[in-house]
Structure 1
Amino acid sequence: MSDADQMTVFDRRVVRLHRDRAARSVTEHDFLRREVAGRLVERLADIRRIFPRALNLGSHGGEMAAALGNRSGIETIVHSDLSPAMAAAARRAGGFAVAADEEFLPFAPGSFDLVVSNLSLHWVNDLPGALVQVRQALKPDGMFLAAMFGGDTLFELRRALMEAEMEVSGGLSPRISPMAGLRDAAGLLQRAGFALPVADTDTLTVSYPNPFRLMQDLRGMGETNAALQRLKIPTRPAVLARAAERYAELYQEEDGTVPATFQILYLAGWSPDPSTQQQPARRGSANTRLADALNTREIGTGVKPH
């Protein structure tokens, strides 16, 4: 992920088509996004600030907007999604909607007090560039708050599909998209120029009656494979059948269900504003020796400062 700004991993046209298709029945498969949206709102509730103008970036069906309601003094919300159908679905939650690519945001600098993004940015090729655009779209001291899938997401399905394909077809093809790790996410915020960047992680485990129900949900969420190097023909039924068997062999619980793990990365940062945000002290301006604070003896390095 550290080279995301130099790589084209995802077919954004296919991402849009998957979302367009999923928009037809988005409310039947939005439970995970609703849960994560609620957790994002909890983080926002700890911040005593008012955000009159907000951007819901990668809006999907409007789950984030519904969770926000009129909290944090939001007066105007704009829903933006790569999929026109998803943007239209989000519009039902109120506010305005625009079909726009996260990699080419159409908003003027300083347009928003708050940008939120709920489980969408993992499909962006140039994530560093997208985050820079988000920062530029924020007013000084504006806030960016996001959740995205992390690298441990669906590790059970990854293993089952890999072993099944090796066994049935004698080879491997990319089936689940690469995702960032926690350290990657924190570094990306810094690279994009956000002040006071914070990244943390959480794990959600969902129980399914069988692996096929999980795959059905992923399709209904618009989260099926859109990697450029994906297999361009339908997966052989024998591979899927063996993957379901292997999934159950490896992970089935005593009650007959199978777990699906979703690692969620939470990102938060502020658009720089020297007039209101705490700044690091000028180098050499300290008036107290570190050795005195630690009650220890100072040992020189033998290197004179320039």
Structure 2
Amino acid sequence: MGLSVYQRALILLKVQYYFRYIITVIGLLSNLVAIVVLGRGKCGLSRCITHYMVAMAAADLLAVFCNVAIFYLYAAIFRYVHTVACTLQHVMAYVSLDCSVWLTVAFTFDRFVAICCQDFKSRYCTVRIARVAIATVYVVSFIRNIPYYFAFYSLYIYEPIGCLQKPEYYSHPGWIAFSWIHNILTPLLPFFIIVLLNVLTVRSIVVASRARRKLRAHVSGEKQEDPELEGRRKSIILLFCVSGSFILLWLTEVMTFIYTYIANMHNAPNWAHPLAMAQTAGDLLKILSSCTNTFIYVVTQSKVRDELKNAIKYPYTLFLKLVRK
């Protein structure tokens, strides 16, 4: 006998609850470690790349806190000041995700310029431009999500349990336009920009690598290791892992958004409905994307691994020094 709608909904809620709990622990710890390790500037990366990676880790940390960790804090602490706390939580949740997404776009574009636009590289791939781009992403993300503060209302059953989007959010022309603009800017436009930049980067790398190999073979007459190609290869691995992870983990969210507007069905009839499952999966996967970059750095960058090992050994080393004294 199959499970009832209630049983399936209950299982879905339990999975969502425990998954959020795991994401909270992993996301907060991994992004804090990334900020500390990368912030030391000893990972063999350029200052420009380091700025982007630290900013991305900070945005991911904020995204995990505002979208997941505060879910438990709200239930425990903010429940009875829900009118302000709940709406602010939603605003900051949207802001943090926007920052995380658009910093990924900024990082991808920076690497695209560094690899494919050599004439423009010296002017764009600088610490000053990186700081301006990062500050712009944070400020614009905050400003454009302020309307969400007015999009929610308090939800009571027997006591305050949270807030929902107002009914006119799905019917008023102004809110509909705002919703479309918001969802186009995050995640549709970043999704397709990252895909396009990666395609252009791959094409440029293939052409440049072939030409360089032929030139070196013609000059030297034998195959030799090329430090420039090796450095470019490591940069490409990092770029593709970061952007590829973003594409895969946001794909469900993008496809669900497109389907809901094509089918004109924004809310599922019950928690066990396939649309509800897809929306839940998309929501969890996009938050999971805020936890993956640190692991990507560790896997793809040997010096990041070395710095992480040193950070782990530091308390033990410090303890031994204190004992010896």
TM-score of the aligned structures, taking structure 1 as reference length: 0.23
Higher strand share: 1
Higher helix share: 2
TM-score of the aligned structures, taking structure 2 as reference length: 0.22
Greater RCO structure (CA 8 Å; 6+ sep): 2
